[in-house]
Structure 1
Amino acid sequence: MSEGANIVIRQADGEDLTEVLEVGHKTWPVTYGPIAGDDYVAMGLAKWWTQEATIPAIRAGRVTVAEVDGRVVGMTSVGPSEGHLNLWKLYVLPDQQGTGLGGRLMRAVIDKAVEDGHDAIRLSYILGNDNAAQFYEHFGFVETERESGGSGMPDNVWMQLALPQPGEDA
């Protein structure tokens, strides 16, 4: 990212669909290929990085993007699950990783969750993704459980971040 780049963190809209999908298709192979293999990458892209899987989240206002000089280079997606707010996706293009954009996206997710009155954020990452583990721990997430992937799939590590409640210091 160049010095003086115009960085915007904002809610995604329908015009962002192609670039949001591109983030997934460019990050998944380099992130998960070495950890879980090409079959896992192909399954994940076919299941979670399609128009059919992404359009409803964008329409529901659950996708946030990081834009640098008008180009989407990172994204998050949140949603409800079993009465909790889950962070389902947080990805930054490989050539933009290490620039602080992931942190900006995470802070946007946390701020919105607090604003919306959630008491915690849950997420999971696949065992072996040490970069994800360190990133989430940096923001105060703590491991809550491990879940077997089964059928040759990698195990998931679940984490949670307790959020400040009204009247508490953040």
Structure 2
Amino acid sequence: MITIREATIEDLHVLRDIGIETYREHFSDIWTTTGIQNFLSEDFSVFELQKSIESPTRHCWLIAFDEEGRAIGFSKINWSKPAPLSAQVGAELQKIYFLKSQAGKGYGKQFLKFIQDSAQNHNEDFIWLDVLKTNSNAQRFYEGFGFRTLGEIPFSTDKAEIGMVVMGCDLSQ
């Protein structure tokens, strides 16, 4: 069982550390060493995180903790964002990552359910995300929660052109 709560400014460094660690664990193979460092320095900079955390009407950062109170995962939701390839506006699930050591414990299901409930509590009736085109396991996971493929959009790193699959889920049912 995990505990999930909204991140506050006091969590900034924990969020930065877990963000960098999980991103490196999951995506270091799609970047060069310099490329991933540049991406992480920008995406998880203290300045960018602080600005985002301090905008709760636009963004929501969630942190997942294990039974010992250690941060093991996090998520970022952007409220009321237009989905690519669709006329729908809804909550964008921009990030959801767990430490690799925590995989297979059912935490992702618990976290995604929490995120869907949070979106509904913010009067969002649609939630969408994009996932690497090559990540069929994640796509199947989201399909199990009612997400459907809306189409593909380009995505590249400094190493390769990969592409993303955009998926969406109607929450109004």
Whether the 8 Å contact between 2:22 and 2:97 is mirrored in structure 1 is: yes
1:112 to 2:111 alignment: no
What does 1:12-161 correspond to in 2, within 5 Å?
Answer: 12-34=7-29, 36-38=30-32, 41-61=36-56, 62-68=60-66, 69-80=68-79, 81-82=81-82, 83-149=89-155, 152-161=160-169
Unaligned runs of 5+ in 2: 83-88
How far off its partner does 1:19 sit?
1.6
Distance 1:156 1:21 in 2: 24
Identity %: 25
How far off its partner does 1:43 sit?
4.2
Distance 1:86 1:162 in 2: 12
- TM-score after normalising by structure 2: 0.81
Aligned-residue CA RMSD (Å): 2.0
Q: Deviation per CA, 1:147-166, whole angstroms, max 9, x where unpaired?
A: 122584321110001102xx
Which SS does the other structure have where 2:134 is aligned?
coil
Q: How many residues align?
A: 159
Which runs of at least 4 in structure 1 moved beyond 4 Å after TM superposition? none
- TM-score after normalising by structure 1: 0.82
